[in-house]
Amino acid sequence: MSDIVPSELSGDDLIVDAVGLSKTYGQFQALKPCSFSIPPGRVVGIFGPNGAGKTTLLNALLGLHDYDGQLKLLGRDPYKHRAKLMEHVSFISDVATLPRWMSVSDILRYVSDVHPRFDEAAALERLQRHTRITPGMKIMNLSKGMVVQLHLSLVLAIDSRLLVLDEPTLGLDVLHRRSLYDALIEEFFDNNRSIIVTTHHIDEIEQILTHVMFLRDGEIILDTAIEDLAGRFMILEASPANAEAAQALGPIASRTGIGRSNYIYDGVDRSALAPLGDVRRATLTELFIAQLGHPAESAEAASGATQT
């Protein structure tokens, strides 16, 4: 354990606590004042279109730039105490870059030398159990999927409290994406740890999330538990004959199809919608499109298209 006060790392305390957190670059406010908290035992998905402020928010959490307002990570300011806090935080970026000239055994030895909470034996055991990667392989000869698996094995062998993933499956096929998320839940997540993930493959991670956060133009417009979405956001599929009545109930978005239209509602009781057509809960992807999408982007978002 590092010299961070043990009580500040107890399972009862917040992993992240932000009050009025914001970031400005010159005249541009990349992140507007926001307040939120993440206790242990959460998997939080942070979603938003390009330029929404996701990277700015993650960089603040990782202590990569200063900010206005108050931000505590495991009880400490991440910008002022980054070196020690990073012993308890793991990060996988969209590029998953590792030194190409190193061998697998080289990178295992290197991380063991520089990180006090890394278990080299555990990383090697995971590679042997879950992959075809061997210690003598050069990283430059590994496929994209194998590099991600190596990076994942390194991260999972670190005894950290928070795992931050920024588009971790960029460039991977659906099988490798599913494998990565399954590994996170099975091998990392517990009631004492939390995960923060950003991705444009919203539909693929909805089932593992406990909470969701939507950002638009640097502002958090939704911050809620996944279980609370089911009773709050509903989709009504109605015929043209019921279009006027459906509009009168105040949908937050609508989409017209052939012969029927879909209407998304926030907080409208299911009993009020049922007489007008078929009612079901909105998926996270549908909600993302309704609150954050633009017509030109809707088709890409709905299909889980990857954006940079």
Helix (H, G, I), strand (E, B) or coil at 28: strand
59 with 30: CB under 8 angstroms?
Answer: no
Comparing 116-125, 169-178, 269-278, the range with the smallest average pLDDT is: 169-178
Q: Could you count the other beta carbons within 10 Å of the beta carbon of residue 232? A: 14
pLDDT of residue 265: 96
- What's the CA gap between 42 and 297, in Å, rounded? 29
Render pLDDT for 227-249 as a digit per residue (tens, 0 to 9). Answer: 999 889 999 999 999 999 999 99
β partners of residue 223: 213
Helix (H, G, I), strand (E, B) or coil at 303: coil
89 with 60: CB under 8 angstroms?
Answer: no
Render pLDDT for 172-181 as a digit per residue (tens, 0 to 9). Answer: 788 888 888 8
Chain centroid, CA 106 distance in Å? 30
- What's the CA gap between 100 and 140, in Å, rounded? 5
- What's the CA gap between 152 and 183, in Å, rounded? 9
Render pLDDT for 132-148 as a digit per residue (tens, 0 to 9). Answer: 999 999 999 998 888 88
168: CB partners within 8 A, 6+ apart:
92, 93, 94, 96, 148, 180, 197, 199
Kindly state the DSSP code that residue 143 receives in the 8-state scheme.
Answer: -
* pLDDT interval class at 62 (50, 70, 90): very high
Residue 243 backbone phi and psi in degrees, to 5: -60, -45
pLDDT of residue 257: 80
Residue 85 burial class via C-beta count within 10 angstroms: exposed 0-12, middle 13-18, buried 19 and up: buried
β partners of residue 289: none
> b/e for 141-151, b at 16 or more Cβ within 10 A?
ebeebbbbbbb
224 with 211: CB under 8 angstroms?
Answer: yes
Domains and CATH numbers, the chain: 6-98+153-225 (3.40.50.300), 99-152 (no CATH), 228-302 (no CATH)
